[in-house]
Structure formats: C-alpha cells, structure tokens
Amino acid sequence: MLTYEVRVQADPQIAARFAEHMRAEHIPGILATGCFAAVHFEHLAPGVYRTRYVADTQVDLDRYLNDHAPQWRADLAARFPSGITLSRDVWHHVESWTRN
C-alpha cells in the first residue's frame, strides 16, 4: 500500500473556495479514475490542507501519475493560478497497529 500525499498552503482569501473545489470536484474526480482505494482530505490550520490518496500498488499509483495527474494538475492550476503552494510525497506503508 502507498499513500500519495499532496499538501497545500492556500492564501486566506481563497482557502474556502479551494476546500470546496477539492471536496465537490477534484477528489471525487480523481477517485473515479480507479487508481486509488481511498482518499483522505484533512485540515491542519487556516489554509493548510493535505490530501492522502491511498493506492493498493505501485502500478496503480504509476497509472495515475502517467495517465491522469497531468490533466488534474492543469485543471487545478487553471482554477487557482496563484494563491496556493503545493508539495507532493509518496509514502510506503510499513506497518499498522489497531486497538483491540
């Protein structure tokens, strides 16, 4: 299992519009690609968000990055040409624990 994490710092004047776009269009559209098993959208502080896209395999993540990411990145850049700063990381699952 892998997690493709995108962290965003949005300027205060566009933060609410950004979050609404992510929840209503961006994330559902990316989930519809079939490349990810789950998506988690999280808020840390005003204007600070992260989205964790969970892929079952490297093949699924690579398919997203090669076949879908360019169009989704272009769409986001067109909607928010300024006011957001992004960082992207890929996390590899090592182990999980759960409470009994």
| Number of DSSP helices (H) and strands (E) in the chain, helices first | 4, 4
Name the pTM for this structure: 0.93
Domain that holds residue 77: 11-87
On whether residue 97 sits in a domain, the answer given is no
Residue 19 domain-assigned (yes or no):
yes
pLDDT tens figures, 33-58:
999 999 999 999 999 999 999 999 99
Closest CA to 51 of 38, 64, 60: 38
Residue 59 in any domain: the answer is: yes
Give residue 100's pLDDT band: very low, low, confident or very high (50, 70, 90). Answer: confident
Does a structural domain hold residue 61?
yes
Examine residue 32 and state whether it is found in any structural domain, yes or no: yes
- Dihedral (Cα; 90, 68, 40, 86), 10-degree rounding: 60
Residue 92 lies in a domain: no
Number of structural domains in the chain: 1
